Amino acid sequence: MKPGLKVVAFARRIAMALTFHRRAVTLGVRIAVFDANGHVLLVRHRYMPGWYLPGGAVDPGESAPEAALRELSEEAGLAGTQPPRLVGLYRNLREGGRDHVAFYRLDRFEAQPNALAPNREIAEAGFFAFGSLPEGTTPATLRRLTELSDGTPPPADW
């Protein structure tokens, strides 16, 4: 290899390494919450279409289970009365493959005064039977609920 090409190749490797380190891995959470009738909680955001499991980003200094319970409180006004159970850790390819989602399940909670009330972020929230999910339930939400209902092992990708 010519000396000039060696410099270019070295510079390219350095640039790729710096780019790799700048794009941090991100972590989000989703939580499947079931009531005493086995109905699942779904939320509809004001800023994007579809029905989702509650969730969001893990904040600095926060654990993933703490984030799941915080998001549940913020989005639906419910407080977990037990630790959420980790179902799986998924890679979210829609966000470039460096985003990951920790998926939790919760079967015990209590309502706060603002339970299921619309807020700045959430247009609607409610509990739905698996066979009667609202129109617009997202494909990823349907996949996660199907896995929970039939015991399918979680895949690697969200």
Tens digits of residue pLDDT in 83-98? 999 999 999 988 677 8
Distance CA 82, CA 156 (A): 26
Q: Residue holding tokens 């980790």?
A: 86
pTM attached to this predicted model = 0.84
* 157 occurs within a structural domain: no
CATH classification of the domain holding 102:
3.90.79.10
* 64 occurs within a structural domain: yes
Pairing verdict, β 99-106 and 26-33: parallel
* 114 occurs within a structural domain: yes
* 108 occurs within a structural domain: yes
DSSP-assigned beta bridge partners for residue 90:
101
Structural domain boundaries enclosing 83? 25-150
* 15 occurs within a structural domain: no
* 69 occurs within a structural domain: yes
* 134 occurs within a structural domain: yes
pLDDT tier, 24 (very low <50, low <70, confident <90, very high otherwise): confident
* 70 occurs within a structural domain: yes
Q: How many domains does one find in the chain?
A: 1
**Mean pLDDT value across residues 67-90:** 98
Output 23 or 65, whichever has higher pLDDT.
65
